[in-house]
């Protein structure tokens, strides 16, 4: 299996990360730059969807991607990022995977009632705006989150479970074609997922320094997961974006 981890485009929170008077949005939407990034990503993946050479080593996707499934979290910025690619490719299944959401889940950001859990967008929002998205059974107008703030102790186990479920669903099978899966997700969850892949202690680096993997908006990272190993082919690729659209 090939896993392509795509971080969402620039959100309104990303754009205001240095703005000291800005209050973060609980479910931030894409900025105009974020929308342009998502469109560039869609154009690039459409142009390179067809795998043109199956004989030579394609570890840098120089011969195409051949995506077979796209998953997204149900946070608005992720779905909005994924949708242009889904529409450009036309025939790749597009499915919500609730558990690949950003750390913390849906919660109040204002100081008053901070960290109180929120419901998240209702089913009708996605049906109206992203009809091609396959939504979870049982998800209704009450929202997709409806839980308290996700604390630190809950985050790594969630990533561990996602990795196990991913391998169970899409891992290599004898006499079956290799699956090529895209996750459209979030920077914090990426660090948890790569920690799960490599069994790294969470944010524990050498000399008692915290560790972090930086992902730019709409960057692509690739992992090849076989029955015996996980290979990191590349992380945080942004060559498909013009310089003025590379944001953090």
pLDDT level of residue 200 (50, 70, 90 thresholds): confident
pLDDT at residue 203, as a whole number? 73
Could you tell me the maximum CA-CA distance found in the chain, to the nearest angstrom?
59
Q: How far apart, in whole angstroms, are the C-alpha atoms of residue 96 and residue 237?
A: 24
pLDDT at residue 1, as a whole number? 98
Output the CA–CA distances (angstroms, integers) from residue 207 to 26, 199, 211, 229, in the order listed: 35, 19, 11, 28
Q: Are 132 and 109 in contact (CB under 8 A)?
A: no
Return the SS3 of 46. Answer: helix
Decide yes or no: CATH 3.40.50.1010 for domain 2-245. no
pLDDT at residue 211, as a whole number? 82
Sequence ranges of the domains in the chain: 2-245
- 134: tokens are 């396959």
- Dihedral of CA 166/181/97/240: which sign? positive
Average pLDDT for residues 75-88, to the nearest whole number?
98
Residues shown for the chain: 248
| Residue 204 pLDDT greater than 80, yes or no | no
Average pLDDT for residues 28-57, to the nearest whole number?
98
pLDDT at residue 127, as a whole number? 98
């Amino acid at each position: 299996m090939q896993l392509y981890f795509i971080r969402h485009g620039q959100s309104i929170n990303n754009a205001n990360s240095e703005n000291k008077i800005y209050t973060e949005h609980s479910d931030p939407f894409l900025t105009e730059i974020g929308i342009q990034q998502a469109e560039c990503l869609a154009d690039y993946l459409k142009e390179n969807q067809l795998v043109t050479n199956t004989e030579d080593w394609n570890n840098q996707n120089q011969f195409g991607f051949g995506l077979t499934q796209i998953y997204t979290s149900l946070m608005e910025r992720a779905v909005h990022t994924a949708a242009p690619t889904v529409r450009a490719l036309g025939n790749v299944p597009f499915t919500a995977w609730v558990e690949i959401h950003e750390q913390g889940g849906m919660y109040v950001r204002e100081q008053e009632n901070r960290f109180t859990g929120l419901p998240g967008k209702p089913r009708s929002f996605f049906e109206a705006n992203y009809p091609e998205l396959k939504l979870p059974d049982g998800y209704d107008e009450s929202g997709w989150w409806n839980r308290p703030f996700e604390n630190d102790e809950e985050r790594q186990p969630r990533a561990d479970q996602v990795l196990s479920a991913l391998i169970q669903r899409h891992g290599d099978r004898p006499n079956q074609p290799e699956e090529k899966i895209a996750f459209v997700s979030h920077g914090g969850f990426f660090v948890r997922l790569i920690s799960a892949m490599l069994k790294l202690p969470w944010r524990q680096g050498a000399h008692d320094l915290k560790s972090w993997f930086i992902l730019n908006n709409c960057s692509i990272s690739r992992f090849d997961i076989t029955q015996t190993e996980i290979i990191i082919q590349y992380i945080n690729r942004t060559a498909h974006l013009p310089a003025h659209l590379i944001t953090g």
